[in-house]
Structure 1
């Protein structure tokens, strides 16, 4: 049996791709085990599979993923954009067969025989517009030769990757906590319905505590310092809890629930990075010689004594002197968060993510930064609402995904709808293949299959939407037409309209969703028609 592992970041679009591959394998009577996982889960699965296939939007991480997969003698292949865009499971199976020609135990690829993988270049859009002038070539070359390698170095850093992976691993708890708000709506209308709010308290409400454990653990894992993984993780929790400055009460110690939840995220990040850095510094330290007769477990916990003691000593000093790290870090980053929550900040965040995506770079590259802004924003809104004050923050996941990312980053849903009735056979097929993922805000197939990425004719409206839609959304909320979210609701795979209503608890949000859909459609329409004309002409000439 051939075993194929896929990833795309969060495991969403690659999940659709894996499903198509399984269907194709079943149709051909082939024995395949095909699984799609998030990037943060790769290390848990790579040892049991024969090949790793990554989405084209993760090409900038190819070097880092290839290096990691080499530990398991696992070849890595970037899925062709056309195959990924059309979710062509049969074609992808054929490519896998070329690399893994036989059945049996895990093996290295037929050629080359080493674990070094031939790197595929992300293809430019197969249209006449892609290389129409020298300026376009210059931009594309700069992205490929400058931006992508630098992004690869940044995201390949052990600490940066650990932050990304840690947040991804916490996502199920955030989603569970978010879904509880639905039960809250039900309970408002049916008081007899049980109160499930405590689930939110012990899922989303422990976000920072989870982060303080996972971040040091993942850093140790990334740098292969296995002997300190759990010691670093536990030290992270202990240090973080001391930095919350718990209060002594008759029953023991009282911890602030706000600091354990999303409100303590920045301190959890600070704690995790410091703890990981200390343990990394002591990676080669040992009280024993290499040929010691002492059991390995004894060597490990004895060597861990020094970094554990130093970290807890430092935390004890801060606790004893009542130095409030929360306030210090909040004051330090306050100017950044204030700018981020302004209209220019809203546009900048939207624009940066969309431009990167238009050049084939996954939004997960900047996810830690964007998510930090979103989490702090919703946390502040929750606090303001609890204090009886009007919420003000709009740079939130609860705003971006229901109203700006309509069908995915770049608001591509209307483009897909246009393609469903296109005169071009290829575009109509693309519309049919990508409409279901788009409804659930998953648009990698349409971005790389149409394609939008590296296609100036469709990149322009995508980028325009990232500027115009935040402005419209900001105005609607500022004039009070739609209620600003005051509860965490981070389930971004919900369909447009439903997500907005549940995130804002305001039926009027449907109007904003419809307006933004209409505006995005108006922006895409002339560019779509121009692109459609080119495709129809190519089809008439037999070029497609």
Structure 2
């Protein structure tokens, strides 16, 4: 076992380090974090509009007055992500970041059709469809953001800029410096849009959605790829690397797109198309005490174990663990690099996630609606908010006891070791 873990660490840690330092993955992570407080505001509005005890008349009134809170945030999440990619990538290259973000967003809008078919089939022109600014436009937005950011910094770093005299105000000088790079970048995207429209009679939104986004989203919504991603989260954490950041930087575009598609269906009163979404992965994994669902572990250490060391670690980790911060137990027990508890550490989240998936697939518990719940919201409350049903919280209670049962024999083994060590210390 030790040789296997050493071999795995030697192979995995360099790869994880490279992924963690990759400029495109870190840029994507930062872009989604830029959108996070805005989508959280929209999620609060959606929760308020759809509380289960409201009558249909009350919901209609709330939709009238609160609907724009969601339309202006979650429904156009791609807008914030595109701007964030252009901004973060420009900042990485040490060029004027605000103009990089603005150019990326304008490039995305150049590729976006300003027309759509209404519900009754009429063609509406001079307007943007919300779905192209949300779930449906997510992947073309990310691709555009990265390409626009690279083109903009390329032209800036080649010094294709207009330099103003020293006496000119800085804001004006920066604006003129960005002029030529912005015009060149936007011109490239305009030419691309013209070529696609003229020769293929379509638009890049539909091409990317059909060829790239739908297959990837379909793959990411399956239970097997999800379990593989979760497995790597746990393994990376075992070696002391932040598994969530590394794996989520790859999977977040897919899980967030699934979340937005669920939200659109939920607003329309249609069946939810997906079980696995960003809220599913956060609320029913991280939202149960942090990575590895360790709230049950912390409570077992604090109240079911006998050694002084176990009790102290459990009680110190209990407060943070309630709010899904579990570094105290990860490094205090420790879980990191502790081969004794490797099996439950990896096995418990995989078993619970599989159970949750099939329980929701069977319709016993509703799937998450697409509302984004802050990861620090405690267990049961976050389950209810994510699913808009008390059954979401009840499922987490079941999950809690499953994790506890899986971990208990291994915790007793650790506890016996601690008791023996404390007895030896007392004799000395």
Give TM-score scaled by structure 1 length.
0.68
Q: Does 1:370 align with 2:251?
A: yes
Match of 1:358 among 238, 241, 248: 238
Contact preservation (8 Å) 2:135, 2:258: no
Contact 2:156/2:178, CA 8 A, preserved across alignment: no
Would the aligned equivalents of 1:244 and 1:256 in 2 still touch at CA under 8 Å? Answer: no
- Displacement of 1:232 after TM fit? 2.4
TM-superposed deviation, 1:188 = 5.2
**Corresponding residue for residue 154 of structure 1:** 19
Q: What is the CA-CA distance between 1:311 and the residue it aligns to?
A: 3.1
Alpha-carbon distance between aligned partners in 2 of 1:515 and 1:299, rounded to the nearest angstrom: 59
**What is the alpha-carbon distance in structure 1 between the residues aligned to residue 22 and residue 414 of structure 2?**
39
Structure 1 partner of 2:307: 424
Q: Is the 8 A contact 2:152 2:181 kept in 1?
A: no
For the residues of structure 1 that align with 2:257 and 2:179, how far apart are their CA atoms? 37
Q: What is the rounded CA distance, in whole Å, between the counterparts of 2:367 and 2:299 in structure 1? A: 29
Match of 2:209 in 1: 330
Maintained 8 Å contact 2:162/2:177: no
Query: Paired residue for 2:290?
Result: 408
Quote the offset at 1:383 in angstroms.
4.0
Q: How far off its partner does 1:215 sit?
A: 0.5
User: In the alignment, what sits opposite 1:309?
Assistant: 187
Cα distance change of structure 1 residues 141 and 347 upon mapping to structure 2, 3 Å threshold? closer
In structure 1, C-alpha distance between the alignment counterparts of 2:180 and 2:95, rounded to whole Å: 15
User: How far did 1:345 drift?
Assistant: 2.5
- Partner of residue 324, structure 2: 441
Q: Report matched runs for 1:440-479 at 5 Å.
A: 440-479=323-362
1:364-385 deviation per Cα after TM superposition (whole angstroms, max 9, x unaligned): 1122222222212222323444
**Residue 88 of structure 2 corresponds to residue 218 of structure 1:** yes
Task: State the superposition RMSD in angstroms.
Answer: 2.9
Q: 1:339 aligned to 215, 219, 226, which one?
A: 219
Q: Deviations over 1:330-354 (max 9, x none)?
A: 3324333223222223322322222
Say which SS state the counterpart of residue 168 (structure 1) adopts.
helix
TM-score (norm 2): 0.86
The DSSP-based 3-state class of the residue aligned with 2:184 is helix
Secondary structure, aligned partner of 1:262:
coil
Which of 85, 100, 103 aligns to 1:232? It is 100
CA contact (8 A) 1:242 1:319 kept: no
Q: CA deviation at 1:523?
A: 0.2
Say if 1:416 and 1:446, in contact at 8 Å, map to a contact too: yes
CA contact (8 A) 2:75 2:130 kept: yes
CA distance in 2, matches of 1:262, 1:479: 25
- Confirm whether residue 504 of structure 1 aligns to residue 387 of structure 2: yes
1:266 corresponds, among 130, 135, 139, to: 139
Q: Classify 1:414/1:217 alpha carbon distance in 2 versus 1 (closer, same or farther; 3 Å).
A: same
Q: Give the aligned partner of residue 409 of structure 2.
A: 526
- Is 1:136–2:22 an aligned residue pair? no
Whether the aligned pair in 1 keeps the contact of 2:34 and 2:80 (CA below 8 Å) is: no
Contact 1:398/1:503 (CA < 8 Å) preserved in 2? yes
| 8 Å Cα contact 1:373/1:395 also seen in 2 | no
> What secondary structure does 1:361 align onto?
coil
**Separation in structure 1 between the aligned mates of residue 100 and residue 202 of structure 2, nearest angstrom:** 23
The verdict on how the C-alpha distance between 1:285 and 1:292 changes in structure 2, with shifts beyond 3 A counting, is: farther
In structure 2, relative to structure 1, the CA distance for the partners of 1:319 and 1:521 (3 Å cut) is: same
Asked whether the equivalents of residues 231 and 308 of structure 1 are also in contact (C-alpha less than 8 Å), the reply is no
Equivalent in the alignment of 2:126 = 253
Q: Report deviation, 1:164.
A: 1.1
Q: Could you tell me how far 1:219 is from its partner in structure 2?
A: 0.6
1:178 alignment partner in structure 2:
43
Give the whole-Å Cα distance in 2 for the aligned partners of 1:327 and 1:464: 40
Q: How many aligned residue pairs are there? A: 407
Shifted more, 471-480 versus 245-254: the winner is 245-254
Structure 1 unmatched ranges of 5 or more: 1-134
In the TM superposition, what whole-angstrom CA distance separates every residue of 1:32-74 from its partner, at most 9, and x where no partner exists?
A: xxxxxxxxxxxxxxxxxxxxxxxxxxxxxxxxxxxxxxxxxxx
Report if aligned partners of 1:285, 1:303 keep a CA contact under 8 Å in 2: no
Contact 2:25 2:250 in 1 (8 A): no
Whether 1:349 and 2:229 are equivalent positions in the alignment is yes
- How far residue 237 of structure 1 moved from its aligned partner, in angstroms, is 1.2
Task: Say whether 1:286 aligns with 2:154.
Answer: no
Q: Secondary structure at the match of 2:284?
A: helix
1:8-44 per-position Cα deviation (integer Å, ceiling 9, x unaligned): xxxxxxxxxxxxxxxxxxxxxxxxxxxxxxxxxxxxx
Point out where structure 2 has 5 or more consecutive residues left out of the alignment. 117-121
**Deviation at residue 455 of structure 1 after TM alignment:** 0.6
Moved more, 270-279 or 186-195: 186-195
8 Å Cα contact 2:111/2:190 also seen in 1: no
Q: In the aligned structure 2, how far is the partner of 1:424 from the partner of 1:202?
A: 53
Work out whether residues 104 and 144 of structure 2, in 8 Å CA contact, stay in contact via their aligned partners in 1: yes
Paired with 2:123 and 2:306, the residues of 1 have a C-alpha distance of 75
Once the two structures are TM-superposed, the CA of residue 174 in structure 1 deviates from its matched residue by 1.5
Q: Point out the structure with the larger helix share.
A: 2
